[in-house]
Chains A and B, each alone.
Chain A
Amino acid sequence: MNEARKSPPKKMVVELEVNGTRHELLVEPRRTLLEVLREELGLTGAKEGCGLGACGTCTVLMDGRPVRACLTLAVEAQGASILTVEGLADTVADREPGALHPIQEAFVDAHGVQCGFCTPGMILAAKALLDEEPDPDEARIREALGGQVCRCTGYTKIVEAVKLAARRLSGEEVKA
């Protein structure tokens, strides 16, 4: 048995920027980003489905890239900028109070949400895709969402929602 294990290892200082706010936290080295977001910062948008990387509902953006928060140690996110679904709408410039992000609106309008458990991860995976590729074809959308499991809707409406979001984000006016 490892000697260090007789007492829990010392906590470590982690600096994170979450949804635009800087935090300095003292965390156990074993804590995942998901635990810190949910249990230290009270941001429960990212969820734990499997805790093992296999379902995608914990997906958040770390420096713009989608990551599994359940498999990312908080201390490995040192200095990173994290975006969760709670902060998504605030990334829109001059947003009206209470207004959603266009990707969120598209999920509502295209009926891409049922129980909603997978939705935060789906939306953030979609954001990462659309930030990199504003006009993806269906194959690319399916690849980008390939790691996000939904047990309710089937994927057709979710894919439609991302297509709708892409059109709206490129300036097209598409009614619900």
Chain B
Amino acid sequence: MLRLPHFAVHRPGSVAEGLQILAAAPHARPLAGGTDLLVAMKHGHHTDADLVSLAGLGLSGIERSDSTLTVGAGTSLWDLMRRAWPDALGVVAEAARAVAAPPLQSRATVGGNVCLDTRCWFFNQSAFWRSGRPACLKAGGDRCHVVPGGSDCHAVSQADLPPVLIACGAQAEIAGADGSRDVPVEGLFSGDGRRPHTLSSAELLLRLRIPLPPPGAGAAYEKLRMRRALDFAAASAAVYLERRDGGCARARVVLGGLGTKPLRVPEAEAALEGTELDPRALAEAAEAAVAAARPVKNTDLTPAYRRKMAGVLVRRAALRAWTRAAGEES
């Protein structure tokens, strides 16, 4: 059997208690569904960590107010997918459904997905496999095996929910010793493959707040991967549109799997806004996505292909979002 290293598991009964434990033990890590963290630990990463179970923090559940949908960080993807969503936000369930497979969705949480570690061919391997060469930057070493000579880590942000949450304008509630604050989900990502999130090790993501879109909004998510189950995104695109008087009044375009963080593409948004999504606008948006993508050779499929697909995925997602915005299911 592939064994886990020794660790203690703390089981706090409240957010305050959980934060206290995290603050007191710098090596402690939050454990949500464990479907990312425990894999990394079996691979010999974070072997000095104790775990703080978030199961008893009461962070699971979805609430709707007049203006906002609030999703607890502990909500499982399984529950998320089975919830009736307002049409314009069905894209959140669509992205959750694209994660892994049902027996992982059952335990995987929204918070764990947003906080998913970045990934790389050289990092996501067994300790034995990795021992064949010196440790890379993300594993505490002094070099990168993907971009030799570089001092940056290019591990990829491949989680499926963040692009969609950013496209839908979601805010994240973060709690630390000094209380809690709301930041745009976009602001949670640092762009450094080594430490991809802006949360400190003593902070927790508590909730996500998704604004209820106005009438005429639509969104869609497209994911490129080798197999239709289990595989992470080699590239993905989330597009959110608001349609007014037949034209596109607002667009948000976000790429996943194509950089060290989810990439917002303002040029693609500008290309769509003010148009009726005519072929020319779509071509410009696609071109902007290709230009914004930052694939390197550290995941499935070649960087050139993934880059090209960034444009294709944006076009497909934009068209589906547009159809949805028009009130027709695609």
Distance between A36 CB and nearest chain B CB, rounded to angstroms: 11
Q: Chain B interface: which of A45-53, A85-93, A159-167?
A: A45-53
Give the nearest-CB partner of A29 in chain B: B9
Q: Report whether A4 and B106 are in contact in the complex, using a CB–CB cutoff of 8 Å.
A: no
Segment among A16-24, A97-105, A107-115, A139-147 that sits at the interface with chain B: A139-147
Q: Mark A50-75, 1 if CB is under 8 A from B, else 0.
A: 11111010010010011110111101
Complex-state Cα separation, A149 to B7, whole angstroms: 30
Q: For the complex, is B270 an interface residue (Cβ under 8 Å from A)? A: no
Pair B34/A8 contact, Cβ less than 8 Å = no
List residues of chain B with CB within 8 A of the CB of A34. 1
A12 touches B9 (CB 8 A): yes
Q: Residue A170 at the B interface, CB < 8 A? A: no
Q: Decide: B228 and A76 in contact? CB cutoff 8 A.
A: no
Partner of A53, one of B9, B31, B35, B55: B35
Residues of A near B48 (CB, < 8 A) are 1-2, 5
Q: How far apart are the CA atoms of A65 and B48 in the complex, in Å?
A: 31
A68 interface neighbour in B7, B43, B103, Cβ under 8 Å: B103
Given A143-B102, A146-B228, A147-B102, residue A48 in contact with residue B2 (CB < 8 A): yes
Which residue of chain B has the shortest Cβ distance to A60 in the bound complex?
A: B103
The answer to whether B39 touches A66 (Cβ under 8 A) is no
Report chain A residues within 8 Å CB of B107: 67-68, 71-72
Nearest residue in A to B8 (C-beta to C-beta)? A9
Interface SS of chain A = mixed
Q: Which of B1-36 contact A (CB under 8 A)?
A: 1-9, 11, 27, 31, 34-35
- Contact yes or no, B39 A71, CB < 8 A: yes
B62 interface contact, C-beta 8 A: no
CB-based contact A8/B6 at 8 Å: yes
A25 CB-CB contact with B under 8 Å:
no
State A143–B34 Cα separation when bound (angstroms): 22
The reply to whether B4 and A125 form a contact with Cβ atoms under 8 Å apart is no
A52 contacts B2, CB within 8 Å? yes
A2-B49, A4-B50 are known contacts. Are A30 and B7 too (CB-CB below 8 A)? Answer: yes
A71 CA / B112 CA spacing, docked (Å): 14
A10-B8, A66-B103, A147-B104 as given contacts; A52 in contact with B42, CB under 8 Å: yes
Query: Could you tell me how many residues of chain A have their Cβ less than 8 Å away from some Cβ of chain B?
Result: 45
The distance from the CB of A172 to the nearest CB of chain B, in whole angstroms, is: 25
Contact A9 B6 (CB under 8 A): yes
Chain B residue at minimum C-beta to C-beta distance from A70: B2
Contact partner, B103, options A39, A56, A75, Cβ 8 Å: A56
Bound-state CA distance A115–B143 (Å) is: 44
The answer, yes or no, to whether A28 is at the interface (CB within 8 Å) is yes
- Is A32 among interface residues, defined by CB-CB distance under 8 A? yes
Bound-state CA distance A72–B38 (Å) is 8
Please report the C-alpha to C-alpha distance between residue A153 and residue B102 in the assembled complex, in whole angstroms: 21
Residues of A within 8 A of B49 (CB): 2
Report the separation of the CA atoms of residues A50 and B35 in the bound assembly, to the nearest whole angstrom: 13
Q: What are 25 A-B residue pairs whose CB atoms fall within 8 Å in the complex?
A: A5-B6, A9-B6, A29-B8, A31-B4, A39-B1, A51-B1, A51-B2, A53-B35, A53-B39, A56-B101, A65-B78, A66-B106, A68-B103, A68-B104, A70-B2, A71-B38, A71-B39, A72-B107, A75-B11, A76-B34, A125-B102, A129-B102, A143-B229, A146-B101, A148-B101
> What is the interface of chain B, defined by CB distance below 8 A to chain A?
1-9, 11, 27, 31, 34-35, 38-39, 42-43, 48-51, 53, 55, 78, 100-104, 106-107, 228-230
Task: List the 4 closest pairs (A to B, CB-CB), nearest first.
Answer: A147-B101, A146-B229, A51-B2, A9-B8
Interface residues of A, Cβ cutoff 8 Å to B: 1-2, 4-5, 8-10, 12, 28-32, 34-35, 38-39, 48, 50-54, 56, 59, 62, 65-68, 70-73, 75-76, 121, 125, 128-129, 143-144, 146-148
